[in-house]
Amino acid sequence: MSQAAQMHDLILAGGTVVDGTGQARRRADVAVSGGRIAAVGDLADAKARRTMDVAGLVVSPGFIDSHAHDDLAVLEMPDMLPKVSQGVTTVVNGNCGISLAPLRADGPQMPPLNLLGQGYRFGSFAEYRHAVDNGPAAVNVAALVGHCTLRVLRMADVARPASGSEIEAMRQDVEQALLDGALGVSTGTFYPPAAAATEAEVIAVCEPLTRLGGIYATHMRDEGDRVMDAIDESLRIGAALNVPIVISHHKVVGKQNHGRSVQTLARLQDAARRQAVCLDCYPYDASSTILRPERVDICDRIMVTWSEPHPEASGRYLEDLAREWNCSRREVAEALLPAGAVYFIMDDGDVRRILKYPDTMIGSDGLCGEGRPHPRLWGTFPRVLGRYGRELGLFNLEEAVFRMTGLTAMRMGLRDRGRVAPGCHADLTVFDADTIIDNATFDTPTEMSSGMRHVFVGGVATWEDGAPTGARPGRFISDRIGVAAA
Judged by CB under 5 A, the stretch of 90-98, 256-264, 276-284, 410-418 that binds Zn ion is 90-98
CA dihedral 320, 325, 330, 331 (to 10 degrees): -160
Smaller CB distance to Zn ion: residue 250 or 475? 250
CB of 423 to Zn ion, least distance (A): 34
Q: Indicate the residue among 58 and 368 with the shorter CB distance to Zn ion.
A: 368
Task: Please identify, using beta-carbon distances, which residue of 246 and 483 lies nearer to Zn ion.
Answer: 246
Q: Count residues contacting Zn ion (CB under 5 A)?
A: 2
Binding piece for Zn ion, criterion CB under 5 A, among 57-65, 106-114, 215-223, 427-435: 215-223
Q: Which CB, 191 or 431, lies closer to Zn ion?
A: 191
Least distance between Zn ion and beta carbon 271 (Å): 21
Sketch the per residue contact string, 354 through 393, with Zn ion: x for CB under 5 A, - otherwise.
----------------------------------------
Build a one-symbol-per-residue string for 443-472: x at contacts with Zn ion by CB under 5 A, - elsewhere: ------------------------------
Interface with Zn ion by CB under 5 A: which range of 219-227, 291-299, 449-457, 464-472? 219-227
Q: How near is the Cβ of 113 to Zn ion at its closest, in Å?
A: 13
Name the residue nearer to Zn ion (CB basis): 83 or 219: 219
Q: Which is nearer to Zn ion, 96 or 230 (CB)?
A: 96
For Zn ion, the closer of residues 79 and 280 by Cβ is 280
In whole angstroms, the minimum distance from the beta carbon of 461 to Zn ion comes to 32
Q: Which is nearer to Zn ion, 112 or 458 (CB)?
A: 112
Binding residues for Zn ion restricted to 176-195, rule: CB under 5 A: none
Q: What is the 3-state secondary structure (H, E, C) of the chain?
A: CCCCCCEEEEEEEEEEECCCCCCCCEEEEEEEECCEEEEEECCCCCEEEEEEECCCCEEEECEEECCCCCCCHHHHCCCCHHHHCCCEEEEEECHHHCCCCCCCCCCCCCCCHHHHCCCCCCCCHHHHHHHHHHCCCCCEEEECEEHHHHHHHHCCCCCCCCCHHHHHHHHHHHHHHHHCCCCEEEEECCCHHHHCCCHHHHHHHCHHHHHHCCEEEEECCCCCCCHHHHHHHHHHHHHHHCCCEEECCCCCCCHHHCCCHHHHHHHHHHHCCCCCEEEEECCCCCEEEECCHHHHHHCCEEEEEEECCCHHHCCCEHHHHHHHHCCCHHHHHHHHCCEEEEEECCCHHHHHHHHHCCCEEECCCCCCCCCCCCCHHHHHHHHHHHHHHHHCCCCCHHHHHHHHCHHHHHHHCECCCCCCCCCCECCEEEECCCCCECCCCCCCCCCCCECEEEEEECCEEEEECCEECCCCCCCECCCECCCCCC
Which among 93-101, 272-280, 309-317, 466-474 is the span making contact with Zn ion, rule CB under 5 A? 93-101
Smallest gap from Cβ 289 to Zn ion, in A, equals 7
Q: Decide if 390 contacts 323 (C-beta within 8 A).
A: no
Using the contact rule CB under 5 A, the part of the chain among 53-61, 95-103, 290-298, 464-472 near Zn ion is 95-103
Point out which span in 69-77, 91-99, 434-442, 457-465 binds Zn ion (CB under 5 A): 91-99
In the complex, the smallest distance separating the C-beta of residue 356 from Zn ion, rounded to whole angstroms, is 21
**Residue 96, interface with Zn ion (CB under 5 A)?**
yes
Cβ contact 85:449 at 8 Å: yes
Task: Single out the residue of 473, 485, 456 nearest to residue 12, CA to CA.
Answer: 456
Instruction: Choose one: 4-12, 94-102, 126-134, 263-271; the region binding Zn ion (CB under 5 A).
Output: 94-102
Give whichever of 219 and 250 is closer to Zn ion, judged by the CB atom. Answer: 219
Which of the stretches 92-100, 250-258, 320-328, 387-395 binds Zn ion when contact is defined by CB under 5 A? 92-100
Q: Do the strands 428-431 and 58-61 form a parallel or antiparallel pair, or are they unpaired? A: antiparallel
Q: Do 218 and 186 meet the contact criterion of CB atoms below 8 Å apart? A: yes
Pairing of strands 184-188, 58-61: unpaired
Amino acid at 400: A
| Least distance from Zn ion to the Cβ atom of residue 186, Å | 9
CB of 233 to Zn ion, least distance (A): 16
Q: Pick between residue 147 and residue 219 the one whose CB is nearest to Zn ion.
A: 219
CA distance 210 to 485: 9
Enumerate residues 289-308 that contact Zn ion by CB under 5 A.
none
Angstrom distance (rounded) from CA 40 to CA 29: 6
Minimum CB distance to Zn ion, residue 386 (Å): 25
Q: Give the nearest distance from C-beta 248 to Zn ion in angstroms.
A: 5
Q: How far is the CB of 485 from Zn ion (least distance, A)?
A: 23
Looking at the Cβ atoms of 247 and 420, the one nearer to Zn ion is: 247
Nearer of residues 89 and 218 to Zn ion, judged by Cβ? 218
Task: Write out the residues near Zn ion by the rule CB under 5 A.
Answer: 96, 219
